[in-house]
Amino acid sequence: MLETVIFSLIKGLPFSIKKKLLEDHKSPKKAIDNLTMSLIEVNSKTGIKILNQINSNAIVKKAEKIIKECMESEIQIIPYWHDFYPKDLIHCTDAPFLIYSKGEQNPNTQNLISIVGTRNCTDYGLKEIKRILNYLKPYPIGIVSGLAYGIDIYTHRTANELNLVNHAVLGSGINKIYPKKHLEDSQKIKENGVLISEYTPNEGPRAYHFPRRNRIIAGMSKCTIVIESKKTGGAMITARLANDYNRDVFAVPGNNDQEYSSGSNLLIQRHQATILNHPEQIVEYLDLKKVENKTTLKHNNIKLSKDEKLVLNIISKDNEMSINEIQMQSSLKTSVLNFVLTSLEIKQYIEPKIGNFYKIKF
């Protein structure tokens, strides 16, 4: 493993060249030895820089430190030939040689779909996330996003509520979760999926890390869904990268007067994304089949608040009840009741019906 990490740390060699060297020489150590001999013969400026890295004690010490950090934090080192390395990412020419991951799932057991969007999302965007994930939950899919504010974190949270497999690609090391406010969310993601980073475990976030991590989000996914984005920003970068990788991009259309729908609408206008009117399009595109007897949510393991239990018991009396009747019997404020109903809906205890009614779902 030491030679693998050392090989990953060598700067100036694209992924394609490292991959070719390993395929030719079957092991990182032999690849490094043969690379060293070749560079000595060429004797170029670039070659000398790479040779200086290989011959440096610093790169060995750094690799040893990384391995120690991974062992202490139970972080897996996943080179591109590992079974847990996202299989669709391998085909991208700028893929990372290895990634660091922590979690319970092999990302290659699902059809991966990335969902990205603005940090300044609206209620419309949040509603679309819930609609899409609720529809997709019976299918063998895994959700990918970036743990950022806005669309990203709401996607992760909704997926966790629904017990859907979801993976977070970080712009920092796994031991340096950013933003810190999402640390608790990252712990839940580890249970339902994996945390992924190309950065060493204790490396902090940098501004330039985030545009680069977007290529991993796009590259490991079979398709990307953009939900609310300005004409510039991380979601648009991810969409462009997905197009570059010949992956399909879908965009949820928005109000033309909304700044945070301008990017999504522009992608559709330029034929860089397919308009997503209904999540069934994703099912058809990926030719997904429902998983028989799949339990996407374990009700008994979900803790309900006092207000949630109250509202659930009230609706259970008649199985279906209007929101006005629920409010009369619960005496909850409108804002509180709306929050509780939304939470129960996400947790799959109730479902909305026409005419402001709610019905028990189990």
pTM: 0.76
> Which range of residues forms the domain containing residue 316?
299-360
- Residue 294 counted as domain residue: no
61 and 15 in a single domain? The answer is yes
34 and 165 in a single domain? The answer is no
15 and 149 in a single domain? The answer is no
Q: Strand 320-322 and strand 357-360: pairing? A: antiparallel
What confidence category does residue 302 fall into, taking pLDDT thresholds of 50, 70 and 90? low
Contact 219, 246 (CB under 8 A): no
CATH code of 344's domain: 1.10.10.10
138 and 248 in a single domain? The answer is yes
Percent residues over pLDDT 70 in the chain: 96
User: Does residue 13 surpass a pLDDT of 90?
Assistant: no
140 and 110 in a single domain? The answer is yes
- Which 8-state DSSP code applies to residue 102? E
Percent residues over pLDDT 90 in the chain: 55
Q: Is 313 exposed, middle or buried (0-12, 13-18, 19+ CB in 10 A)?
A: exposed
User: Does residue 295 surpass a pLDDT of 60?
Assistant: no
Which pLDDT belongs to residue 297?
A: 40
CATH code of 261's domain: 3.40.50.450
* Cα three-residue angle 151-152-154, rounded to 5 degrees: 65
As a whole number of angstroms, the distance between CA 228 and CA 206 comes to: 24
What is the arithmetic mean of pLDDT over 157-183? 94
Q: Which residue has the higher pLDDT, 24 or 300?
A: 24
Helix (H) or strand (E) holding 169: strand 166-169
Helix (H) or strand (E) holding 317: helix 306-318
What is the arithmetic mean of pLDDT over 67-88? 91
What is the arithmetic mean of pLDDT over 315-319? 76
51 and 117 in a single domain? The answer is no
For 315, how many CA atoms within 13 A lie in the half-sphere containing its CB? 29
The domain boundary residue, chosen from 226, 256, 286: 286
Would you state the structure tokens that stand for residue 61, as one six-digit string? 């010490």
Q: Strand 141-145 and strand 111-117: pairing? A: parallel
User: Does residue 82 surpass a pLDDT of 80?
Assistant: yes
246 and 342 in a single domain? The answer is no
Which pLDDT belongs to residue 362?
A: 54
Q: Which residue has the higher pLDDT, 240 or 318?
A: 240
Over residues 264-284, the pLDDT tens digits come to: 999 999 999 999 999 999 999
194 and 249 in a single domain? The answer is yes
Contact 234, 211 (CB under 8 A): yes
- Residue 339 counted as domain residue: yes
16 and 142 in a single domain? The answer is no
Which pLDDT belongs to residue 246?
A: 94
- Residue 32 counted as domain residue: yes
For residue 38, the one-letter residue type is S
The domain boundary residue, chosen from 240, 262, 286: 286
Which pLDDT belongs to residue 299?
A: 45
Which pLDDT belongs to residue 33?
A: 86
Over residues 103-119, the pLDDT tens digits come to: 878 899 899 999 999 99
As a whole number of angstroms, the distance between CA 211 and CA 235 comes to: 9
What confidence category does residue 296 fall into, taking pLDDT thresholds of 50, 70 and 90? very low
Over residues 174-218, the pLDDT tens digits come to: 999 999 999 999 999 998 899 999 999 999 999 999 999 999 999
- Residue 80 counted as domain residue: no
The domain boundary residue, chosen from 232, 265, 286: 286
Over residues 27-57, the pLDDT tens digits come to: 888 888 888 888 887 778 888 888 888 888 8
User: Does residue 305 surpass a pLDDT of 90?
Assistant: no
274 and 336 in a single domain? The answer is no
- Residue 95 counted as domain residue: no
4-13, 210-219, 294-303: the lowest-pLDDT one: 294-303
- Residue 216 counted as domain residue: yes
226 and 318 in a single domain? The answer is no
- Residue 138 counted as domain residue: yes
Q: Strand 274-275 and strand 248-251: pairing? A: parallel
Helix (H) or strand (E) holding 132: helix 123-136
Close Cβ partners of 78 (under 8 Å, ≥ 6 residues apart): 84, 85, 98, 99, 100, 101
Short-list 257, 261, 258, CA closest to 227: 261
Q: How many domains does the chain have?
A: 3
Would you state the structure tokens that stand for residue 237, as one six-digit string? 């970068």
Over residues 249-258, the pLDDT tens digits come to: 999 998 887 8
276 and 303 in a single domain? The answer is no
Which pLDDT belongs to residue 292?
A: 59
- Residue 90 counted as domain residue: no
